Structure 1
Amino acid sequence: MCGRTGLSLSKEQIQCACSFKSKDCDVYQKPDWLPEHNVGKDYIPSYNITPTEVTPVLISSSKFKHIAKTNRALKPMMWGIIPPWHKGDYKSHNLSTNNCRIENIKTSKLYGPILSGGGRCIIIAEGFYEWQTTVKSKIKQPFYIYAPQDSNVKIDDPSSWNNTFTEEEGWRGIKLLHMAGLYHTWQAEGTIIYSYSVITMESNNTLDWLHHRMPAILDTQEQIEAWLDIDHVDADKALSYLNPVKLLTWHQVSTVVNNSKNKSDNCNKRIESKTTQKTLKSFFTKSAKRKSTEETSEGSKKIKTE
């Protein structure tokens, strides 16, 4: 499952982070940033992105050759596909389309035609949130999950990211997540909205302790290229590239992220686990008692000596 993400980079930084080398070019190219078509909504950097908000989505430029200069493009899209058959207010279709299950994606009345029609995309994020409910407690503990970073980079400290880009070396900065998804163009009475769903699958032993579902994450350039190449890689072949990723990192965060209105960097800040807090509290309590006992003992000895 994937219900919240984080992405704080600017448009220009995201273009740099999604730079790539095509077969006919020796330098890194930045994907075009295509105009938005989302009833006036555009991408706003946020540490707590929720469904119905607009985020940049990486797609093939195949369907936008008239305006795109490179083979890939970034287009702001709304999270949650609007069904093609829906009429009226785009917010009133009453279907949960934030995620689509890979197990029935080909047979789905909604997702099957979109997949076969080349509606493959990649959702860009710095990380996503997932909640854990324990047997002992009904309080859901949020975690922030993200790609492994270089040793000197902290995902919750932008000052450590050292984001740079050159055409010769490409992006040298924070490592982003690339989540496979599907997108669709919905039109009604002159309104055009691009919307997407994140593909999910059964969790492997990397994340099944936290949740039984996880987003389909593309963690190699080969996977990214295949998923985006809608002209030469068919749907079945593209799906074969989707497997539960094993290399992920995570940490506990504050429950401030539970409120979708909270968008600040407090959402993804690392906090100590309750187990660690209890252990430290127990350690210091025992130390204090031990110190007090020792002082009392020393005091008794002095009294006896005197």
Structure 2
Amino acid sequence: MCGRTACTLAPEEIRRACRYLDRQGRHRTPQWRDGDQNKYAPSYNKSPQSNSPVLVSQRHFQKEPFFKGQRCVVLADGFYEWQRSKTEIQPYFIYFPQDVNKVKNDPEELVDSEVWNGWRLLTIAGLFDCWKSPVGGEPLYSYTIITVEASKAMKGIHDRMPAVLDGEDKIRRWLDFGEIKAQEAFKLIHPIEAICLHPVSSIVNNSRNNVPERIKPIEPDSAEKSNRSGNSKMMLNWLAKGSPKKAEPAPSPTVKTEMQSFKRSSASLMQSWLQKPGGSMAKRPRSNRDSEIP
């Protein structure tokens, strides 16, 4: 896995998309650490050098020192991988299957409550570290993504894949370093089949290209045209509406699944996500400056 992802939600949207139930069954929404939301900029093309949203346990900030290799969850709309053959290299976008009964086609419907009815974020197991300069200054946080052998859904694209945590319980257990020790937590790390993927344009090859077309499905040049994943069609419909959540980003500081039920019901979600009302393409993801906080 090359480490290239897309994460196009604004900071407030990321909070809502990560809403969870605590042990008492109460709904909770994660909080950004002070100032961190201003360091993050939504992007269709995040390289390893950019700032990305990561979930960590609050307990890490309630004691010293930080230990190396602390567990975290890396958030993304999806990630990119390149299929190599003798004649060409084809990029793919890989993401979670989407529930068409939950995901709203109209992004305007997403700002009415704390409940998130938008695109389901991919949740990837990772490890993070914190470095503090001996001469002072702001701590530097970094993370690494854990990879595993590719699942059957991914093997045709690459021989490795990120360790995806599918479900709220797996995320909670991975982050709970106090009660879930490393040996038990590592049982959560394995390939999964519940992913979707579709081919995308080669403009993704240049990390400076931060445009919606990066994740838009393209028509393969073969008989596979008729087999486009239903979830890729869902993403098209989602992108076509052109959410106000997808405007100019703030400056940054420094497969196809075999779940047939998705194939029939998600024909136009990605298209609505990519385009503004009236059919024009949304140019850039929205920044924190444009966020609408419910």
Taking structure 2 as the reference length, the TM-score comes to 0.69
Given residue 197 of structure 2, which amino acid in structure 1 is its aligned partner? W
Residue 100 of structure 2 corresponds to which residue in structure 1?
A: 151
Contact 2:5–2:45 (Cα < 8 Å) also in 1: yes
Q: CA deviation at 1:158?
A: 7.5
Contact 1:5–1:126 (Cα < 8 Å) also in 2: yes
- The root-mean-square deviation of aligned C-alpha atoms, in Å, is 2.7
Which structure: larger Rg? 1
Matched, 1:4 2:4: yes
Distance 1:277 1:6, change over 3 A: same
Residue 127 of structure 1 corresponds to which residue in structure 2?
A: 78
Contact 1:153–1:174 (Cα < 8 Å) also in 2: no
Contact 2:219–2:225 (Cα < 8 Å) also in 1: no
Given residue 186 of structure 1, which amino acid in structure 2 is its aligned partner? W
Q: Secondary structure at the match of 1:141?
A: strand
Q: Which has the higher strand share?
A: 1
Contact 1:163–1:174 (Cα < 8 Å) also in 2: no
Residue 16 of structure 1 corresponds to which residue in structure 2?
A: 16
Gaps of 5+ in 2: 227-294
Q: Secondary structure at the match of 1:239?
A: helix
Instruction: Report the count of equivalent residues.
Output: 222
- Structure 2 counterpart of 1:114, from 68, 71, 83: 68
Taking structure 1 as the reference length, the TM-score comes to 0.66
Distance 1:229 1:176, change over 3 A: same
- Structure 2 counterpart of 1:48, from 42, 45, 48: 45
Q: How many angstroms apart in 1 are the aligned matches of 2:206 and 2:106?
A: 26
Given residue 114 of structure 1, which amino acid in structure 2 is its aligned partner? K
Residue 119 of structure 2 corresponds to which residue in structure 1?
A: 174
Given residue 35 of structure 1, which amino acid in structure 2 is its aligned partner? D
Q: Secondary structure at the match of 2:214?
A: coil
Contact 1:152–1:160 (Cα < 8 Å) also in 2: no
Q: How many angstroms apart in 1 are the aligned matches of 2:108 and 2:200?
A: 19
Q: CA deviation at 1:159?
A: 4.8
Residue 300 of structure 1 corresponds to which residue in structure 2?
A: none
Q: How many angstroms apart in 2 are the aligned matches of 1:247 and 1:161?
A: 28
Matched, 1:241 2:240: no
1:1-306 alignment, distance < 5 Å: 1-26=1-26, 28-36=27-35, 42-65=39-62, 114-115=68-69, 119-135=70-86, 137=87, 139-151=88-100, 159=106, 163=110, 166=113, 170-188=115-133, 189-191=135-137, 192-276=139-223
Q: CA deviation at 1:172?
A: 2.1
C-alpha distance after superposition, 1:6-53 (max 9, x if no partner)? 010000000000011111353x21101003579xx8110000100110
Given residue 173 of structure 2, which amino acid in structure 1 is its aligned partner? A
